[in-house]
Amino acid sequence: MITLYERVSGVLLDQDLSLLALEKHNQPARQRPRASLTHLFCECPAYAEARDWLAATWVAVAATAPPPTSSPALLLGDQPSAWPAYPVATGLQRLWTALRLCFLHGVWCVHKDLDPARHHSHAVVAHVVAALRCLLWAQFRMTALSDDLLDPLPTAILNAQLKATKLADFKAAWAHRRVLCEVVEPAAGGAQLRVLVSLSGPVVAPAAPAAAGEEG
């Protein structure tokens, strides 16, 4: 099985080869230091506040010790041994996986932005929050699908989407302690979802840097 680390490594390698090809044809290539995956995701100062946000968000959700977000073994490799408080419950494991992958994707999207002025923690957290809100709604709607519709689908596809097959499973993963969302179940039936995660909570997103000309 190809790991996320290997997939992102391949993307970075493809990017480097593309830059080399441009240089060979004397075409201007954007000058930019090439960083290792460890530096980009776990050490880069530009995204330090975003890593702090990720750790604080997990503490707000799970009420446990924060994940060491500067650890490549945890953030890139998802190795439980790198975090003594690694979640044990299946629902929280699913939630941590979703948070971690959304964060890595957010960093990568911001890193790929051609405008260096947009390489900051606020942009990363904005990506993560948007992805989480989409995932919450998608997963909640999946709980309403019948078993007759889901049974023919390949298990690998459902696992890739972190599928929660029952409303109780969804609540265990996503609505834990009602921090990221809340499921309202009226007596008349028909569960409703209230998405709570935003740029202002449960942890306030890092402030966006002032645009050029706005300082002072």
Tell me: the pLDDT tens digits for 82-95? Answer: 999 999 999 999 99
**In this model, does residue 30 exceed pLDDT 80?**
no
The two three-digit tokens of residue 140, written as one number: 């909640």
Average pLDDT for residues 171-198, to the nearest whole number? 92
**Does 18 fall in a domain?**
no
**Does 9 fall in a domain?**
no
Q: For residue 51, count CB atoms less than 10 angstroms from its CB and return exposed for 0-12, middle for 13-18, buried for 19 or more.
A: buried
**In this model, does residue 181 exceed pLDDT 90?**
yes
Q: Give the pLDDT score at 141.
A: 87
Average pLDDT, the chain: 81
**Does 12 fall in a domain?**
no
**66 and 55 in contact (C-beta within 8 Å)?**
yes
Q: How many domains does the chain have?
A: 1
Percent above pLDDT 90 for the chain: 61
Which residue intervals of 41-193 are DSSP H helices?
48-62, 72-75, 90-112, 121-142, 147-150, 155-160, 167-174
3-state secondary structure of 201: strand
Residue 165 binned pLDDT confidence (cut-offs 50, 70, 90):
low
Q: Give the pLDDT score at 151.
A: 63
Q: Give the pLDDT score at 77.
A: 94
**Does 3 fall in a domain?**
no
**In this model, does residue 20 exceed pLDDT 50?**
no
**Does 183 fall in a domain?**
yes
Separation CA 96–CA 85 (nearest Å): 12
Output helix, strand, coil percentages for the chain, rounded to the nearest 5.
Answer: 55, 5, 40
**Does 216 fall in a domain?**
no
3-state secondary structure of 192: strand
**170 and 143 in contact (C-beta within 8 Å)?**
yes
At residue 186, what is the residue type? Answer: P
| Reported pTM | 0.77
**In this model, does residue 144 exceed pLDDT 90?**
no
Q: Give the pLDDT score at 167.
A: 87
Average pLDDT for residues 184-198, to the nearest whole number? 90
Separation CA 197–CA 142 (nearest Å): 19
Separation CA 131–CA 45 (nearest Å): 23
**In this model, does residue 65 exceed pLDDT 60?**
yes
Q: Give the pLDDT score at 101.
A: 95
What range does the domain containing 110 cover?
35-195
